[in-house]
Amino acid sequence: MRTSESISKIAPSMLKAQKEMSGAKKGSKNPFFKSSYADYNAVLEACKDALNDNGILILQPHIHEAERNYVETILMHESGEFISSETEIITAKKNDPQSLGSAITYARRYGLQSLNALPAEDDDGEKAMNRNPKKQTAKKQTNKAPATLSEYLIANKINPAKALKNLKCIENFGADQMTSIEQLNQQQQEYLNSNINFFVTNCGV
């Protein structure tokens, strides 16, 4: 994280803004964990108005340092003071516009959510109301969701071993020592899901 020489003006404004922020709504689906997560629009919606109302604007330029690409998330105060952090842009395939676009959105989301310490909230009305839980349990289930990440990939005609081999080639992704695709953490799996078309094309069964 980087800051201006002084943060005496932006710090109290950030405190006021955070008191006004709500959690980012989990409106997007993560099929690997059969759960939801907050996408970039939800994160932006949760913090932008509160920041702007307290004299803080959001900037997210792309920068290139030491042969790596980053999204720099900058919270700039009207006084000129700022707080910023960098999130690396990790792509599944170089020179692929779709993969790059997904990676940039991914970096913008995590950078903005992290810098504002934003929690993510469930947005599931049916779960909150808990309507007829016994009847729901008794219902015959059809189209059962895959129980593991490997099953999910195979269902989408992706070879898990080929997918893991490809992920190991991504610098700083963290899969180098993994022996199974099931060892990916949630953040890594969300990345895999956001680039699913690439893996369907390049890691088919």
Q: Dump pLDDT digits (tens) for 144-201.
A: 556 788 888 888 788 888 888 888 888 678 888 888 888 888 777 777 777 777 777 7
Residues 166 and 199: beta-carbon distance below 8 Å: yes
Return all residues near 188 (Cβ < 8 A) that are at least 6 apart. Answer: 167, 173, 174, 175
β 82-88/68-77 pair status: antiparallel
Does the pLDDT value for residue 142 go beyond 70?
no
pLDDT digits (tens, 9 = 90+) for 66-123: 888 999 999 999 999 999 999 999 887 777 787 788 889 889 998 999 999 887 654 4
Residues 89 and 104: beta-carbon distance below 8 Å: yes
What pTM was estimated for this model as a whole?
Answer: 0.61
Delimit the domains of the chain by residue range: 9-123, 148-205
Residues 31 and 113: beta-carbon distance below 8 Å: no
Class at the top of the CATH hierarchy for domain 9-123: alpha beta
And the tokens for 152? Answer: 């999910």
